[in-house]
Amino acid sequence: MYGFVIRDAFSSPHPLHQFLTTQNVDTLSIQAILCNPHQQVSADTIRLLPSLSIIVTTSTGTDHIDLSECSRCGVQVVTVGGGQFAEDVADMAVGLLINVLWKISAADQHVRNRGPSRSWSFSLGCKLGGKRVGIVGLGRIGGEVAKRLEAFDCKIMYHSRNRRPNVLYPFYSDVVELASNSDVLVLCCPLNEQTRHIINREVMLALGKTGVLVNVGRGALIDEKELVRCLMEGEISGAGLDVFENEPNVPKEFTALDNVVLSPHAGSLTLECFTDGCELVARSLEAFFSSKLPSTAVVDD
C-alpha cells in the first residue's frame, strides 16, 4: 500500500503525474493520495492509478482535484481543512484588512527606510469601525469573518450561491450590487467554474475609489490583471491578498504598490492548524485503511 505526501509542491521539480510516470513508481498498488492545494490531481493522474480509492487534501477547496474523474472512478475525496481552519483564516482576513486600512506594512517600511533626514510624517490611514463589509461566500470562513467584524460595528452584507436560512445579514444575489453598497469586499468562497473571476473590472469599479478588496479564498476568484490595473489607476483604494491566481508567481506590479498587502497563502499556517490538520489526516487515512470510510467533507461557500 502506498500514499503520496506532497509536502512542498511549490519547490518540487516534478508535478505529481510526471513524478508517477518517471520515477519507477508501482502505480498499480497506490490506494491513497495525500495532497495539498498546490498539487494538481488531474484526470490523467487518477486514471494512472487503478487501485486509487481515496484522495485526502489538506485544504477546504478541491479545485486542484478533478472531481468529475473521481466520481467516475469511484474515488472518495476528503477535505481536512474545513471548520478547524476557519477561525485562523478569518483572523488573517481581518488582519489583512486592518493592515491595508491603517497602512501598517507601508508605515513599517517608511520607518525602516526613513533615515535621519527623512520626514517622520506619513499619509493618513482609515479606521475599520463602521465600514460596510460585503462577504463573498458566507460559509464557515465567511461566517467567522462576519463575527469578528461585528465587533468593529461593521455593517455585514453577503453574496453566496444561495441565501442562508436564519442569517439576518442583507443578501445580494448580484456581486456588482453588493460591491456598490460596500466599502470592503472579503472573498471567502471556493473556486469553481461559476466563481472564477467573479471579481472582475465591473465589480471593482462598483466597489469604488475608496474601496478595499481582501482575498483569503483562491487567487483566481479575482481577475488579477484587472486588479493590477484598477490599483494602479486608483479605481480602488487597496487590497490585502493571501492568495494569487498563478501561485507561487505574484505579479511584479503588486510589489511596487504600497497600498497592497501580500501574504504567501498563509491563512491557515499556524502551529495549531498544522497540528490539527496532521491529526485529521492521520484519522482519515487510518479510517480508510481499516475499512471505516471517512465522510467526504462538503465544500460550501
Catalytic residues: 218, 247, 265
Asked if 60 and 80 count as a contact pair (C-beta separation under 8 A), the reply is no
Distance CA 9, CA 40 (A): 9
Q: Cα–Cα–Cα angle for 248, 252, 257, nearest 5°?
A: 120
Backbone angles phi, psi at 265, to 5 degrees: 50, 55
User: Could you tell me the sign of the dihedral formed by the alpha carbons of 282, 283, 287, 288, in that order?
Assistant: negative
Distance CA 76, CA 54 (A): 5
Q: Measuring CA to CA, how many Å separate 66 from each of 4, 56, 71, 192, 220?
A: 17, 13, 9, 11, 17
Q: Torsion over CA of 187, 281, 6 and 43, rounded to 10 degrees?
A: -70
